[in-house]
Amino acid sequence: MKILVIGGMHGNEPLGIELVRLFQEKRIENIDVVLANENAVKDNCRFIKDDLNRSFPGNSQGKSYEQKRASYLLNLCKKYDLVFDFHNTHCPDNDCVFVGDLADKKLYDTASYFGLNKVIIADYDCINKYTSNCVSIEISLASKLMNANLWYKRIFKLSKMNEIPLARKVKKFRFVYRMTLEDKNKLNLPSKNLKAFNPINKSLADKMGVKSPAYPIFIGDKYTPNNYGGILNEL
Ligand SMILES: [Zn+2]
C-alpha cells in the first residue's frame, strides 16, 4: 500500500510535524511525507495568509501561498492509496477522524483499525471534501495517542498489509455548526462545562439552532481563538 503522511496542515500543531520528521530520519518504502504548510511550520504559526485546511481545492495560480499549496497537495494525494493528515487540539478527549462525503470505505476501516471510532464528515473546504483517500486524524494534546513514535509504528504496520481489517463499530457524525464568540458570550458557554462528544442540553442546542442530540468538539481550543468550537449531529 502506498501511503502519504501529511504533517503541518496547521503549522503549529506538533504531532504531524514530529511524525514527518521521524519518517524523514527513518525512511520506509512506500511511505512518503510532506509538510503541508511548510512556511507556517517554519514560522511556528497556524498559517501565513489563509487557513490551508479551508483553502481547498486551491488554485495553482492563486494569490495566497495557501491557495497554491492546496492545489499542489490535492494533486499529490492522487498518487497514493491512503493519505493521513495529522492535527492537534487543546480540547481534551477530542480524538477523532475527519473524512469527506466522497470517502472511500477503506477510510472508515482505517479509522476503526486505529481505534478511532468517531468519524466526522466535514463539508467545508478542507482536504477531506475533495479527496476519497484522505483521512484527517485529530488528536488531543493530552491524549495517550499524542506520540509520534506510536503513529510511526502503526503506519509502518498498516503499509505492510494487503487488506485493512473491516470496520467494526464506527460512529458517524456530521459537522453542523461553529460556536461563535458571540454564542460564547451570549449563552455564557464557558459556564456550561461542555465536554467533547458529550451531548449539550436541548435548550442550549435550541438556542444555537442545532438539532439534538448535539455534540460539541474543539471547545475553547487555543488553536482557533476566533471561534468557541464545533457542533456535531450523529448520522
Ligand atoms: Zn489542525
- Domain CATH number, residue 41: 3.40.630.10
Indicate if 60 and 154 belong to the same structural domain: yes
Q: Ligand 1 centre from 25 Cα, in Å?
A: 23
Q: What is the pTM assigned to this prediction?
A: 0.96
Does residue 188 sit in the same domain as residue 83?
no
Distance 204 CA to ligand 1 centre (A): 27
Is residue 63 exposed (0-12), middle (13-18) or buried (19+ Cβ within 10 Å)?
exposed
Residue for grid cell 468519524 = 119
Measured in Å, residue 203 CA sits from the centre of ligand 1 at 30
- Please report, for residues 51, 98, 189, the alpha-carbon distance to residue 85 in angstroms, rounded to integers and kept in the order given: 15, 9, 30
Instruction: State in Å: Cα 87 to ligand 1 middle.
Output: 4
In this structure, the answer to whether residues 35 and 121 fall within a common structural domain is yes
pLDDT over 80 (residue 167): no
Q: What is the DSSP string of 101-170?
A: TT--HHHHHHHHHTT--EEEE--SSSGGGG-SSEEEEEEETTSTT--HHHHHHHHHHHHT-SSPPPP-S-
| Domain end among 116, 141, 169 | 169
Final residue of a domain: which of 124, 154, 169?
A: 169
169 — pLDDT class (breaks 50, 70, 90) = confident
Work out the average pLDDT over 88-107.
Answer: 97
Residues 154 and 179 both lie in one domain:
no
Report the separation in Å between the CA atom of 235 and the middle of ligand 1, taken as the mean of its atom positions: 23
Residue 11 Cα to ligand 1 middle (Å): 8
153 and 219 part of one domain: no
pLDDT score at 165: 86
**Do 130 and 116 sit in the same domain of this protein?**
yes
Indicate if 62 and 161 belong to the same structural domain.
yes
What's residue 197's pLDDT?
Answer: 98
Q: Are residues 136 and 103 in the same domain?
A: yes
What is the phi/psi pair of residue 88, to 5°?
Answer: -130, 155
191 confidence band (pLDDT: 50, 70, 90): very high
What does the block give as the cell for 126?
478542507
- Identify whether residues 88 and 157 lie together within a single domain: yes
Ligand 1 centre to CA of 69 (Å) is 15
Compute, in angstroms, the gap from residue 12 CA to the centroid of ligand 1: 8
82: which strand partners? 3
| 196 lies in the same domain as 89 | no
Q: Which of 104, 85, 111 is nearest to 13 (CA)?
A: 85
With CA atoms as reference, report the closest residue to 123 among 27, 24, 235, 223.
235
φ/ψ of residue 212, rounded to 5: -105, 150
d(CA 34, CA 3): 11
Residues 97 and 202 in one domain: no
**Are 84 and 9 contained in the same domain?**
yes
Among residues of the chain, what percentage have pLDDT more than 90? 95
Ramachandran angles phi, psi of 82, nearest 5°: -140, 140
Q: Which of 126, 154, 169 lies at the terminal end of a domain, its last residue?
A: 169
Residues facing residue 89 across a β-bridge: 140
| Residue for grid cell 459537522 | 175
Read off the pLDDT of residues 208-235 as tens digits, 9 standing for 90 and up.
Answer: 999 999 999 999 999 999 999 999 999 9
| Domain count for the chain | 2
Q: Are 24 and 33 in contact (CB under 8 A)?
A: yes
Where does residue 226 fall: left (phi above 0), alpha (psi -120 to 50 degrees), or beta otherwise? alpha
Q: 219 is in which domain, residue-wise?
A: 175-234
9 C-alpha vs ligand 1 centroid, how far in Å? Answer: 6
